[in-house]
Every structure is written in C-alpha cells, then in structure tokens.
Amino acid sequence: MLVENAKDYAIYMLDPQGNVITWNAGAELVEGYRAEEIIGKHLSTFFTPEDAARGMPQDFLKLAEREGKISNEGWRVRKDGSRFWSQGVITALHDEEGTLRGFSKIAHDITREKEAEEEIRHLNEHLEQRVRDRTTQLEAANKELEAFSYSISHDLRAPLRHIAGYIEILQGETADKLDQQAREYLQTVADSAKNLGELIDALLAFSRMGRVEMRRQSVSLAALVEEARRELQRDSEGRDIVWQIGKLPEVQGDAVMLRQVLINLISNALKYTRKRGQVKIEIGANELENEIVFFIRDNGVGFDMKYADKLFGVFQRLHNENGFEGVGIGLANVRRIIHRHGGRTWAEGKPDVGATFYFSIPKIQNGKERL
Amino acid sequence: MTKPRWILLAEDNANDADLTMRALLASQSPGEIVHAGDGAEALDCLYRRGSFQLRDDDSPTVVLLDLKMPKVNGLEVLRQIKGDAALKNIPVVIFTSSREQADLAESYHLGANAYVVKPLGYREFVSALTDVKKFWLVINEPPPDVPEPQLAAAA
C-alpha cells in the first residue's frame, strides 16, 4: 500500500482520544517505534517531556478538532530518545453524522533542513562579526599609516633640513678655500639632500592621496588644465612651446585630485621635452558612451613601448640620469587617483618622437556612481 | 618713542634654532631674537617669570612657534597665549616641519596668525624667514600696548 511505504513521512491514525491505531513504515523510520510497540500508545509519546507536561499534544488535538486541520512544527522524540524536528499536519476525521472518529497525522522529519537553516544563520552572524573585525583592523591599520606619515613628515625632514642648511652655509664660508674636487663633493651632498627631500615629499603626497576622502562634484577639465599651466609657469618660461588645447568637457570627480593628475601629466610633458627646440603639447578629450578619455601628447624624448607597463609604477623611471630629475612617483599618483575615480590610465610612446598619456573617467549614469 | 621690536623664537631643536637664528640675523631689518628652548621657557618669557624675570616690560612683536616641543608643546603654548586677555593680541606664526592637515586645522582653530612650513632647502628657508621677519617687524603694525599679563588663573 502507498501509505505503508511512503518512507520519509510518518503517516498514522489516532483514535478520538489520541491513541495510535495505525502505523506505517515511514512512521517507523521517523519515530523509531515498530507498529506493535506503539499501537495503543498516546500521541504524547512522541513529544518532549516538557511539551507533554504542558499539554501540547492535547491542545493540538483539540485545535484540530475545532479547525478540522492544523499544521504543527517542533522538536519530537524518537523511541531511542533522540530528538528530531518534525513538521506535520493533524486532520480530524468525522463520520457522516459529524461525530469525531479520530485523527490522521502526517509528519515529516526536517531536522536536516532545520540544521542547515541554523548553520546559515550562524554563519551569517559569524560573517558579520568577521566583517566588523576586519573593519576594525583596517581602521587600525589606517591610523597607523597616518601616524607613520606624520612621523615621516616631521622626523625625517628636520635632519634633512639641517644637512641642506649646513652644507650650504659651508659652501658659502669655504667658497675660495676649497679646491674644485672638494667643492664638487659638497655639491653632491647638497644635491643628494635635495633629492631625498623630494622623495619624502613625494611619498607623503602619495600616501596622503590614499587616505583622503574623495569629494565628487562636477569638474571642468578645461579650468583644471589652465590652473595646472599657471602652476607650472616656471617650467615653461622662456621656452618655445606650442599649446594645442581642444575642447575639454566636464567630468564627475574630485577637483583637487584631478588637478594633481593634470599637474603631474603636464609637468612630465614639459620635463621630457626640455631638449626640444620647439615644444608641441597637445591636450584634448574624447567623449565616449560610458566615459571621457583625456589625452596629453608631447614631442619629447618619448619611450620604448616595451616598457609601457612600467611607466605607472611607483618609483619607476625610464629615463634615469641625463638631466631628468624627479623621483618617478608622478605617474603612480596619476594612476592611483584615476583608479579611485573608476577610470584607466595608459600611454603610448616612441623613442625620440614623443609620448601620449591617456586617462579615462567614467560618466555617472543615472546618479549611480561606479566606484 | 617706539619700542624696539623683537621676535620670540620657540624652538627645541638646536640645529633648527641655529639655522633659524642665522637666517633671521642675516636679514637687513633690525630686531632682536630671543630664543626659548621649549614651550615652558616660551611661556616663562611671555609671563616674565623664571629666568626671564628681568626682561624689559614688553611683549614680543611676534612669536615664531615650533609645534613639536618637549614639556609644553606648541599647540599648548598657542592655546595659552590666545586664551589670555593680555597676550592674545601678540601675533603667533607657527613655524614647523609639519604640513599635516590636523596640525594646520588645530593651529588656526586655536588662533594662530600664520602657519609657515619650514622649507627643506636652505635658500628657501632663509628667504621665508627673511620675509616673515620683514613683514612682522617692519611692515605690519603691532597691536597697541596691553596691560600687565596676568598669570593664568583657573578656567
């Protein structure tokens, strides 16, 4: 018979008082009792002692009689004492006259599903705790970094300032007392101190860029280019420079950071064209569907495309000596800022012909920022 | 009769103090420089107590104040100066290595009149100090006389 063999389900009948009168194979599996052991016993046998004492089985039966059918869920006890989570339905059975003849009960062991639910809930809580812990760790790391940067800013600068200061005083006081070689040594020390200073400043600016909050607003690239050019006036003074600046759109981004990007890129263009008679710097932008692509092209020393991917690394320099000063952090800063805006950076170059640097800024769609 | 104008330099680092003095004294404009080796000494000088008891009866024309100093640090000195009715008009120029936002914000919040970051290169260092000295001792009009400074009372 179908009921007999429905293995996962306990299906049995109770008399009006709640005693078991029939028992199927599934019931034997779920509850653990064989038919001959359980027939005649009360429904409360399957409930936990606490629930039985509270009269829960009787309440269910009364409710079933009143409502006709009720579902119930809870911990039940097997023959061997072990607990399982049961989900079941009790249906009251009446004859044609309406007299209660008994009850049918179907119960399903969903302990595994219940445990899985518990596990998920537990994991979620655990996960949230881990996120909280991780956030705390990150905040602590950030604080450490700030303290570190601050310490550099103050502690390293002071002795460096003393070195630079006393070397210069020494150079002044011994100008005619030292021979050429000695004066060169002094100058080397002075230059190195200056170099070190720039390195520290660059590192600080770089680290600060990572810590600072981004403030998004509508930014005019055209205005930023002008500001950058003004700031770099000294580098372009007295030189033959042809500026070709196309129409530049507005973008969504952090004005201060983007200004730094432009200063770095234009400064590079000015620096690496220093050996050219006539300098040509072309600046423009293309508006694409999802982004704005900005470019700056110069006719300077260029670079070998073989090393293109090194350009934006920290302290990466493709032109070492030969009069190109700087510590090689400008482009790393550019990349970092543009990445924070959700954009990309790349470059093209040809040795002794020139270089073009590109960056993209995503357009904000429907007010949703893409971080 | 105009009072002589002078600078109170609060600087704990011997080398920085030396370089600063050299730069200040090298400039054309006259003006005595009094050096306090830490915040406590700076306050002693302003309140004319301790080793500064016998100073003339006037306040510095400007205070050049380092931030990181032992015993009493720069911000605390600034707070006391700007919190004292008799001293608060004295211009205070913060002169420090730090360009950190926090220091900048706090200094101005406490009433600093200017904030100068010590340049790394010596030439710029001298130039900055020359400009600072010229502005505060020559170009700027110092505040008019104030009554005797009171020793800081509670609250």
Q: Which amino acid is at B66?
A: D
Look at A154 and B98 and tell me if their CB atoms are within 8 Å: yes
Tokens of A296: 């700056």
Q: Enumerate residues 6+ apart whose C-beta is below 8 A from A357.
A: A265, A268, A269, A295, A296, A297, A331, A334, A345, A346, A347
**Alpha-carbon distance A151 to A157, whole Å?**
9
Residue in B100, B102, B122 nearest the CB of A165: B122
Task: Note the pLDDT of residue A194.
Answer: 86
Q: Counting Cβ atoms within 10 Å, is residue A181 exposed (0-12), middle (13-18) or buried (19+)?
A: exposed
Contacts of A165 in chain B (CB under 8 A): 15, 19, 122, 125
Query: Which residue of B118, B120, B124 to mutate against A (max A Cβ within 10 Å)?
Result: B120
Contacts of B100 in chain A (CB under 8 A): 149-150, 153
Look at A161 and B125 and tell me if their CB atoms are within 8 Å: yes
C-alpha angle B144-B145-B148 in degrees, rounded to nearest 5: 150
C-alpha neighbours within 13 Å on the C-beta side of residue A50: 4
**How far, in whole angstroms, is CA A89 from its chain's centroid?**
48
Is the Cβ–Cβ distance between A206 and A329 less than 8 Å?
yes
Residue in B15, B96, B99 nearest the CB of A162: B15
Put residue A322 in one of left, alpha, beta given phi > 0 → left and psi -120 to 50 → alpha.
left
Is the Cβ–Cβ distance between A293 and A340 less than 8 Å?
no
Contacts of B13 in chain A (CB under 8 A): 158
Is the Cβ–Cβ distance between A12 and A108 less than 8 Å?
no
Task: Note the pLDDT of residue A371.
Answer: 42
Task: Note the pLDDT of residue A362.
Answer: 92
Look at B97 and A158 and tell me if their CB atoms are within 8 Å: yes
CA-based nearest residue to A206, from A357, A342, A337: A337
Strands B62-65 and B92-96: parallel
Look at A164 and B16 and tell me if their CB atoms are within 8 Å: no
Tokens of B72: 């009493």
Mean pLDDT by 10 residues, chain A (371 residues): 65 93 90 91 92 92 92 91 91 91 91 89 91 87 74 79 93 89 92 84 71 84 92 85 92 90 91 88 93 94 85 66 59 87 92 93 66 42
CB atoms within 10 A of CB A313: 13
Instruction: Kindly report, residue by residue over A168-214, the tens digit of the pLDDT.
Output: 999 989 888 989 999 999 999 998 988 888 777 777 776 676 667 78
Contacts of A201 in chain B (CB under 8 A): 120
**Alpha-carbon distance A328 to A203, whole Å?**
10
How many A-B residue pairs are in contact by the CB < 8 A criterion? 53
Residue B10, min C-alpha distance to chain A (Å): 15
Query: Which residue of A151, A153, A163, A208 to mutate against B (max B Cβ within 10 Å)?
Result: A153
Helix (H, G, I), strand (E, B) or coil at B85: coil
Instruction: Kindly report, residue by residue over A350-362, the tens digit of the pLDDT.
Output: 999 999 999 999 9
Beta partners for residue B96, in sequence order: B117
Look at A167 and B68 and tell me if their CB atoms are within 8 Å: no
Strands B92-96 and B114-117: parallel
**Closest-approach residue (CA) in chain B for A169:** B122
Task: Note the pLDDT of residue A370.
Answer: 44
Look at B97 and A153 and tell me if their CB atoms are within 8 Å: yes
Contacts of A149 in chain B (CB under 8 A): 100
Look at A150 and B98 and tell me if their CB atoms are within 8 Å: yes
The pLDDT profile of chain B, 155 residues, written as one tens digit per residue, is 467 889 999 999 999 999 999 999 987 777 889 999 999 999 999 998 888 777 777 889 999 999 989 889 999 999 999 999 989 999 999 999 887 888 999 999 999 999 999 998 899 999 999 999 999 999 999 888 655 555 555 54
Supply the pTM of this predicted model.
0.55
CA-based nearest residue to A250, from A226, A285, A281, A282: A285
Residue in A159, A161, A204 nearest the CB of B118: A161
